[in-house]
Structure 1
Amino acid sequence: MGRDVALPPLSKNVHAGSAGDDIKEKVGKEGARTVPGRPEHGGNCDIKNLSRGSKVYLPVHVKGAKFSVGDLHFSQGDGEISFCGAIEMAGEITLKFTVMKEGIKHLSMKSPIYIPGPVEPQFGPGRYIYFEGFSVDEKGKQYYLDTTVAYRQTCLRVFEYLRRYGYDDYQIYLLLSCAPIQGHIAGIVDIPNSCTTIGLPMDIFDFDIRPETRAEKKELGSCAFASS
């Protein structure tokens, strides 16, 4: 199919924190990359609820393991659907480390666990309007329990809804990546269709987007994009 299904270690752009050059070189030759997110290290999962006050339990597989953190997001929606559409930011992080002896065995850990902090990424009173999507594409082709197809269809429902107000597709695409949308797997138990939902925060708009309010097309500008 021509798809990457496993990425080997790669020495390009290795970030090894304060480790010396010898360790950095070893990480580049042997370490599991943080793109994509993977169970060994919890890197690059871009979970928007990992905010101030969160507690993260990470498996440690290597004696003397190092730790690094980065890619801070000011705001992001579940899925970060345009790949690099979150609002990136500089910042400082205060961390406290505790080693849990035999933690992987004690927690039956196969991948990281986290407890979110008290700071929820939301606007205003937290009102959301939700859209559904299923694992059936726009041509009616059914993809058996494929939640990626379902989430894409959910995104398209939001596109169709917001176009009514004058937004173009580029604007909506970026909005779904950087606004703190709530993405959920609603149903994967009923074959053959999986169902996903997206909750769009209504209070990020300065006009009423509730369904009972008639949509008026507005002049909402445009965003920069690369042309061929």
Structure 2
Amino acid sequence: MAGQDTDLVLERLLRLRDRREPLVAQIASWVGSGIIEGRLEPGQDLNSVELSRRFDTSRTPVREALMLLEQEGLVEIQARRRPRVAAPTLADIRDIYQVRRQLLSMLAGLLVERATDDELAELRGQVEKMRELADDGDVDAYFWRHVQLQERMTEIVGNATLKQILDSLALRTLMLRHLSLTRPGRLAFSVDDQERLIQACEERDKDLASALIAGATVRALRAAEEQIEQDTASNRKPARRRRPRA
């Protein structure tokens, strides 16, 4: 299920359906998901020759795919150097989360105002599935379900401008959001946050819903900072712990 969720999200955010060359979309999806899920680490070189061999193609589709990911902030390409996975600074990360917190607070308030009872029941059903994944300690599957949950919220709210701005930040934040969930205990805290948010929406408490999602965003930022600082102190590149138990 995680693979299907990944493909759907990246296909939309990278506009892969618009690509005339299927290999470009395939390469961009593979590299993009690898960066987001931590298989490709910040600062790691992306060898075009190795990628062309992996996908049995020339280097042209590989270059196009990496340029596409560069536009979305996942890859860095500099003259006379190999492309590499982007490595945002802590200052960059804090700036991104500051903006994201405000946008999500707005989203939660609008959700309270505009969501029907049936739509909230749909969201609660998604959160119940997320609880099962959190109990299983499945970080990747939980993460992509969470991404889809927030995307569904933006669809229900129906504010095209808000959705466009959130989408513009999405790929820059996915790697960080996944990183935050790898901290011990974070899955359980995260799904608790989602359940409280849905309850506040069902009770039509706009201020509480906005405060809850803002608080959850701050906690996610702190978890990402802690993991990055721990990795830095260990004298290694930022890396992800794979699938800890919640």
TM-score over 0.5 (shorter chain): no
TM-score normalised according to structure 2 size: 0.31
TM-score normalised according to structure 1 size: 0.33
Which protein shows a greater Rg?
Answer: 1
Q: Which has the higher contact order (CA 8 A, sep 6+)?
A: 2
Bigger strand share = 1
Bigger helix share = 2
